[in-house]
Amino acid sequence: MFDRRQALMALCGAVVPASAISAAPSSERLTGNLSPVHDPCIIKAEGLYHIFSTSRLNEGPGAIHWRTSKDLINWELKGAVMTQFPAWVKDELPDTRGAWAPDIIYTEGRYRLYYSLSMFGKNTSRIAMLSTPTLDTTRPEFGWRDDGVVVRSEARSDHNAIDSHAFIDDDGRHWLSWGSFWSGIKLAELDPTTGKLKKPGALPRSLVKRDSPGAVEAPVIFKRGEYYYLFVSYDFCCRGVNSTYHTVVGRSKSVTGSYVDDRGKPMKDGGGRIVLHADLDPSGRWKGPGHCDVFGDEGRDYIVYHAYDGQNGGRATLRINTLTWTADGWPVAS
The pLDDT tens digits of the residues spanning 134-161 come to 999 999 999 999 999 999 999 999 999 9
Summarize the annotated binding site for substrate as residue ranges: 39, 121, 160-163, 180-182
How far is Cα 301 from Cα 295, in angstroms, rounded to an integer?
Answer: 6
Does 262 qualify as catalytic in the annotation?
no
**From 103, 217, 261, 281, active-site residue:** 217
Whether residue 12 is predicted with pLDDT greater than 50 in this model: the reply is: no
> pLDDT for 33-70, tens place per residue?
999 999 999 999 999 999 999 999 988 999 999 999 99
- Domain of residue 159 covers 4-333
Name the residue type at position 185. I
Q: Read off the CATH number of the domain in which 187 is found.
A: 2.115.10.20
- What is the total count of domains within the chain? 1
DSSP at 202: S
**No. of helices (H) and no. of strands (E), the chain:** 3, 22
State the alpha helices, DSSP H only, in 54-137: 87-92
> pLDDT for 189-236, tens place per residue?
999 999 999 999 888 999 999 999 999 999 999 999 999 999 999 999
Give Cα separations from 101 to 10, 113, 114 (angstroms): 31, 10, 8
The burial class, CB within 10 Å (0-12 / 13-18 / 19+), for 244 is middle
Residue 27: per-residue pLDDT: 85
- Indicate if the alpha-carbon torsion angle 231, 319, 215, 180 is positive or negative: negative
Whether residue 86 is predicted with pLDDT greater than 70 in this model: the reply is: yes
Confidence tier at 1 by pLDDT (50, 70, 90): very low
Summarize the annotated binding site as residue ranges: 39, 121, 160-163, 180-182
Does 217 qualify as catalytic in the annotation?
yes
**From 39, 147, 189, 281, active-site residue:** 39
Whether residue 25 is predicted with pLDDT greater than 90 in this model: the reply is: no
How far is Cα 55 from Cα 68, in angstroms, rounded to an integer?
Answer: 16
